[in-house]
């Protein structure tokens, strides 16, 4: 096994942006507006293109940047997980077909495309974007959960449990559900990274939140012309996003290596 | 082999039919339409209603769909609500730049990712492998718009070596314009792909048939090119089809940053003006392209390693 980044480092990379996003809005800096792209003079990280305090924006902007992505992954797992588990544990083949086949159609749809279409109707609505990002992820999650559950459900353990007259709920939620957790845990990390990217790209393109929102991705987009004048206005929110996704990538890498020996991770 | 191709193609046709329904439903469900969007401030509700009738927006959804789908089959994607010109013209005008951008990126990405992947895979856990793995893991965590913003600031604003935005003319005529966009698109795709090729190489190297071939004294070069590479390429090609998604997202972002008048720019414009036929047309063309890429990747994989079955 190759040397890996210590767990503390990966965890810190994830936790710092997460804590900023969670508790940042509670801190009230109450800073007065300054000139555009000012550095120093009472603003630790300077001001942005509209003269607003970068540190204050940074503390407020995490909620949408991470919240929308995390919410989308949670919804995707709730829906996709149920679909996958039901498809894998049903004894009626037609239910399995009915649940999984339609997802094959959705799979090749480019994600940003779906979201752009949603953005036509529900502009600047965080809920609509979150739901769209969730929908894009449902097919993959459902297939992953189904594959992992099938593998567990067709094994000798389930056979033994059945012979001992264990209840359906006991077998499927107790044993199969737990067996699915390994591959799921490995997938969650990469899926969160992808969701953060997707939400950030949508917001960066101006298809999501309003262009003056404090959101990290919107800040990078809005202040990019001033990168040389006042680098922190772009770099601070960008670093938050990068730290979060990098941390999750490292954690996912660690988990994949641990579970690979047990279950071949599909997609 | 032939039956696999036939089955896979049949699936693609089904997907295509379902996709067109989906694209239409998604866009038809949207609240508000172009008639509301443009004229509510200047026209009376009566006039808006008449305009809606004129644009055919008052018909029942099913009739609109059959009408639209019939036209699509005969190659007519409809008329833009904003410019009044055919959507097909907008598609034709914007497809070139996007195609050049995508192909230029792929032309660099594929050889680079395969070379890096094999390099890493054959030196599993060596120093070079560890360094490259860390770099690709780190680089793939940086959103492409962040890379783009930093590269533009550095190479065009600060150093002035490369142009920051498209100023007109053909992309092909001025390769300098392509350098930064392609560099941005390269970052994540090379990382994702090379990691897959690395994993495929390692798996293949540990497989019984390679161990046996090595024991029989097959020269290393031949072993790598003839036995390891085809198997290592499978996860790579599958990943490439999926990378299409990442790449398309990247192309959207890159076109926006460098003001390249491609598909993405047209799409974002369509979204902004709520020009439903344009969004429908562009979405359909892109979705079909994505479908074909997936189909192609699956067929190539089946050719490389004929035992792959139709995934379900």
Per residue in A32-68, pLDDT (tens digit) is 777 777 777 677 777 777 778 778 888 888 888 888 8
In angstroms, what CA-CA distances link B25 with A38, A94, B205, B276? 48, 26, 48, 11
How close does chain A come to B309, measured CA to CA in Å?
A: 14
Q: A43 — phi, psi (to 5°)? A: -115, 105
How close does chain A come to B274, measured CA to CA in Å?
A: 6
Closest Cα in chain A to B238? A267
For residue A47, the SS3 value is strand
A35: CB partners within 8 A, 6+ apart: A47, A51
Query: By C-alpha distance, which of A238, A214, A221, A133 is closest to B253?
Result: A221
Distance CA B163, CA A106 (A): 38
Q: Which two tokens stand for residue A215?
A: 């959101």
CB of A216 closer than 8 Å to CB of A24: no
Q: Which comes out higher in pLDDT, residue A33 or B135?
A: B135
* Percent of the residues in chain B that have a pLDDT greater than 70, as a whole number: 76
Residues A100, B140: C-beta atoms closer than 8 Å: no
Which pLDDT value is given to residue A266? 38
Q: Quick one: CA dihedral B136, B141, B142, B144, positive or negative? A: positive
CB atoms closer than 10 angstroms to residue B163: 17
B259: CB partners within 8 A, 6+ apart: B165, B166, B265
Q: Which two tokens stand for residue A27?
A: 């801190």
For tokens 């600060």, the residue is: B158
In angstroms, what CA-CA distances link B310 with A76, A107, A138, B5, B207? 25, 15, 21, 9, 23
Residues of B in contact with A205 (CB under 8 A): 252-253, 256, 268
Cut 0.90: pTM above it? no
Distance CA B153, CA A235 (A): 12
Query: By C-alpha distance, which of A39, A202, A181, A46 is closest to A118?
Result: A202
> A113, A132, A254: which to substitute to probe chain B, counting the most B Cβ within 10 Å?
A113
Which pLDDT value is given to residue B31? 56
Which pLDDT value is given to residue B190? 84
Q: Which two tokens stand for residue A130?
A: 């979150």
CB of A190 closer than 8 Å to CB of A252: yes
Query: By C-alpha distance, which of A128, A267, A263 is closest to A191?
Result: A267
CB of A122 closer than 8 Å to CB of A62: no
The full DSSP string for A71-104 is HHHHHHHHHHHHHHHHHHH-S-HHHHHHHHHHHH
Residues of B in contact with A217 (CB under 8 A): 143, 145
Distance CA A135, CA A79 (A): 9
Rg (CA), chain A: 22
Which pLDDT value is given to residue A4? 60
- Reduce the secondary structure of chain B to three states and give it as a string: CHHHHHHHHHHHHHHHHHHHHHHHHHHHCCCCCHHHHHHCCCCCHHHHHHHHHHHCCCCCHHHHHHHHHHHHHCCCCCECCCCCCEHHHHHHHHHHHHHHHHHHHHHHHHHHHHHHHHHHHHCCCCHHHHHHHHHHHHHCCCCHHHHHHHHHHHHHHHCCCCCCCCCCCCCCCCCHHHHHHHHHHHHHHHHHHHHHHHHHHHHHHHCHHHHHHHHCCCCHHHHHHHHHHHHHHHHHHHHHHHHHHHHHHHHHHHHHHHCCCCHHHHHHHHHHHCCHHHHHHHHHHHHHHHHHHHHHHHHHHHHHCCCCCCCC
Q: Which comes out higher in pLDDT, residue B171 or A204?
A: A204
Task: Please say if the pLDDT value at position B87 is more than 90.
Answer: no
Going by the DSSP 8-state scheme, the letter that residue A43 receives in this structure is B
Report the range of poorest mean pLDDT among A131-135, A215-219, B49-53, B192-196.
B49-53
Which pLDDT value is given to residue B48? 66
Residues A105, B26: C-beta atoms closer than 8 Å: no
Query: By C-alpha distance, which of B96, B113, B142, B89 is closest to B240?
Result: B113
CB of A90 closer than 8 Å to CB of A149: no
B294: CB partners within 8 A, 6+ apart: A107, A108, B12, B241, B244
What is the value of ipTM here, to two decimals? 0.74
Which pLDDT value is given to residue A102? 74
B248 touches chain A (CB under 8 A): yes
Q: Which of residues 183-222 of B touch A (CB under 8 A)?
A: none
- What is the largest distance, in Å, between two alpha-carbon atoms of chain A? 75
| Intervals of chain A under pLDDT 50 | 1-2, 261-267
Residues of A in contact with B30 (CB under 8 A): 117, 120-122
Which pLDDT value is given to residue A71? 92
Residues of A in contact with B279 (CB under 8 A): 116-117, 120
Q: Which of residues 8-27 of B touch A (CB under 8 A)?
A: 11, 14-15, 18-19, 22-23, 26-27
Which pLDDT value is given to residue B74? 74
For residue A235, the SS3 value is helix
pLDDT in tens, B256-312: 787 788 887 788 788 777 777 788 788 888 878 877 877 777 777 777 666 545 443
CB of A206 closer than 8 Å to CB of A213: no
Where does residue B220 rank: exposed (0-12), middle (13-18), buried (19+ CB within 10 A)?
exposed
Q: B40 — phi, psi (to 5°)? A: -55, -30
């Amino acid at each position: 096994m190759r040397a890996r980044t210590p767990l503390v480092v990966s965890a810190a990379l994830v936790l710092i942006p997460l804590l900023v996003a969670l508790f940042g809005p509670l801190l009230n800096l109450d800073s007065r507006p300054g000139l555009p792209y000012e550095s120093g003079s009472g603003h630790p990280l300077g001001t942005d293109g509209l003269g607003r305090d970068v540190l204050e924006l940074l503390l407020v902007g995490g909620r949408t940047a991470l919240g929308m992505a995390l919410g989308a992954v949670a919804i995707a797992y709730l829906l996709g997980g149920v679909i996958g588990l039901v498809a894998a544990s049903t004894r009626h083949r037609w239910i399995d077909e009915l649940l999984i086949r339609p997802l094959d159609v959705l799979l090749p749809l480019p994600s940003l495309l779906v979201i752009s279409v949603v953005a036509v109707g529900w502009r600047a609505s965080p809920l609509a974007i979150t739901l769209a990002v969730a929908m894009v992820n449902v097919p993959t999650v459902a297939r992953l959960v189904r594959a992992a559950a099938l593998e567990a459900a067709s094994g000798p353990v389930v056979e033994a449990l059945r012979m001992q007259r264990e209840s359906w709920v006991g077998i499927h939620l107790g044993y199969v559900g737990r067996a699915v957790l390994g591959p799921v845990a490995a997938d969650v990390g990469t899926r969160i990274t992808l969701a953060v990217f997707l939400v950030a790209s949508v917001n960066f393109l101006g298809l999501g939140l309003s262009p003056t929102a404090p959101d990290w991705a919107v800040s990078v987009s809005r202040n990019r012309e001033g990168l040389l004048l006042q680098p922190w206005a772009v770099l601070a929110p960008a670093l938050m996003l990068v730290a979060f996704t990098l941390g999750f990538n490292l954690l996912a890498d660690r988990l994949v290596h641990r579970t690979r020996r047990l279950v071949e991770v599909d997609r | 082999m032939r039956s696999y191709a036939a089955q896979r193609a049949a699936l693609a046709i089904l997907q295509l039919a379902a996709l067109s329904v989906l694209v239409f439903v998604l866009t038809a469900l949207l609240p508000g339409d172009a008639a509301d969007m443009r004229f509510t401030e200047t026209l009376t509700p009566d006039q808006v209603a008449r305009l809606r009738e004129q644009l055919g927006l008052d018909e029942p959804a099913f009739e609109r769909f059959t009408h639209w789908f019939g036209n699509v089959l005969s190659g007519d994607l409809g008329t833009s609500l904003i410019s009044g010109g055919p959507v097909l013209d907008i598609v034709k005008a914007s497809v070139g730049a996007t195609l050049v951008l995508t192909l230029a990126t792929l032309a660099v990405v594929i050889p680079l990712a395969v070379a890096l992947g094999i390099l890493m895979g054959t030196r599993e856990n060596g120093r070079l492998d560890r360094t490259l793995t860390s770099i690709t893991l780190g680089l793939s965590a940086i959103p492409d718009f962040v890379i783009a913003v930093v590269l533009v600031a550095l190479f065009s604003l600060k150093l002035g070596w490369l142009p920051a935005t498209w100023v007109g003319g053909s992309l092909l005529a001025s390769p300098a314009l392509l350098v930064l966009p392609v560099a941005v698109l390269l970052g994540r795709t090379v990382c994702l792909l090379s990691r897959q090729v690395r994993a495929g190489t390692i798996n293949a190297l540990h497989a019984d048939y390679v161990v046996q071939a090595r024991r029989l004294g097959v020269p290393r070069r031949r072993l790598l090119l003839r036995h390891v590479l085809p198997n290592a390429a499978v996860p790579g090609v599958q990943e490439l089809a999926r990378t299409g998604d990442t790449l398309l997202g990247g192309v959207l972002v890159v076109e926006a940053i460098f003001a390249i008048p491609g598909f993405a720019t047209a799409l974002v414009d369509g979204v902004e003006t709520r020009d439903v036929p344009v969004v429908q047309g562009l979405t359909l063309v892109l979705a079909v392209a994505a479908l074909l890429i997936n189909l192609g990747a699956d067929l190539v994989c089946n050719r490389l390693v004929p035992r792959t079955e139709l995934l379900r």
